Amino acid sequence: MDYRTLGKTDLRVSALGFGCGNVGGLMIRSEPSERERAVARALELGINYFDTAAQYGNGQSEKNLGQVFKTLKPTAYVGTKFRLTAPDMTDISGAITRALEASLKRLDMEKVDLFQLHNQVGAERSADADMLSVADVIEQVIPTLHTLKQQGKIQFCGMT
């Protein structure tokens, strides 16, 4: 397996990551034994990065990945994502913090290696907040992510 440095981090991740999204439904709808077998095989092949999000199966992907990791106890990196919605716009910092706490609980972890914004970013915020403004990100999202990093709850942050 080839390994690469992830962005401007010190994480050496496998060139292939294990996606835990809705495609195929493995980490959302399959039996626990199937999930465990698939993750174990990925680890055997040298895959050391697992990508999930609160939106994948309404949190089921994170919960199932956490259960598999609790059983296998791998040395691997986990990245998860959060999406802000219109009601979150009154308290962006609080919404991000709550999203992280919920993800950590589902994953049964104390911290994640990568925590990423899962909204689009543009010149202006859209009415439904699917797209955040650059100002939202610079003035509220980034400072909150840095605070969570200082608290040791995330190792690195980003946008996807």
pLDDT digits (tens, 9 = 90+) for 84-120: 999 999 999 999 999 999 999 999 999 999 999 999 9
Nearest-10 crossing angle of helices 60-72, 92-107: 40
User: Given this model, what pLDDT does residue 22 score?
Assistant: 86
Per the prediction, the chain carries an average pLDDT of 96
User: Given this model, what pLDDT does residue 53 score?
Assistant: 97
Taking the whole predicted model, whether its pTM rises above 0.75 is answered as yes
User: Given this model, what pLDDT does residue 23 score?
Assistant: 81
| Kind and range of the H or E run holding 97 | helix 92-107
Of the listed 3, 49, 56, 77, which one is catalytic?
Answer: 56
Q: Give the pair of three-digit tokens for residue 13.
A: 């991740």
- Looking at the structure of the chain, the number of domains it has is 1
Please tell me the distance from the alpha carbon of residue 56 to that of residue 20, in angstroms, as a whole number. 8
Q: In terms of C-beta density within 10 A (0-12 exposed, 13-18 middle, 19 or more buried), how is residue 68 classed?
A: buried
User: Is the predicted pLDDT of residue 25 greater than 90, yes or no?
Assistant: no
User: Given this model, what pLDDT does residue 54 score?
Assistant: 96
Q: Is 49 annotated as catalytic?
A: no
**CATH classification of the domain holding 52:** 3.20.20.100
Residue 107 near residue 20, CB atoms below 8 Å: no
Per-residue pLDDT band at 24 (split at 50, 70, 90): confident
Owning domain of residue 88: 3-159
- Phi–psi pair at 122, nearest 5 degrees: -145, -170
User: Given this model, what pLDDT does residue 103 score?
Assistant: 99
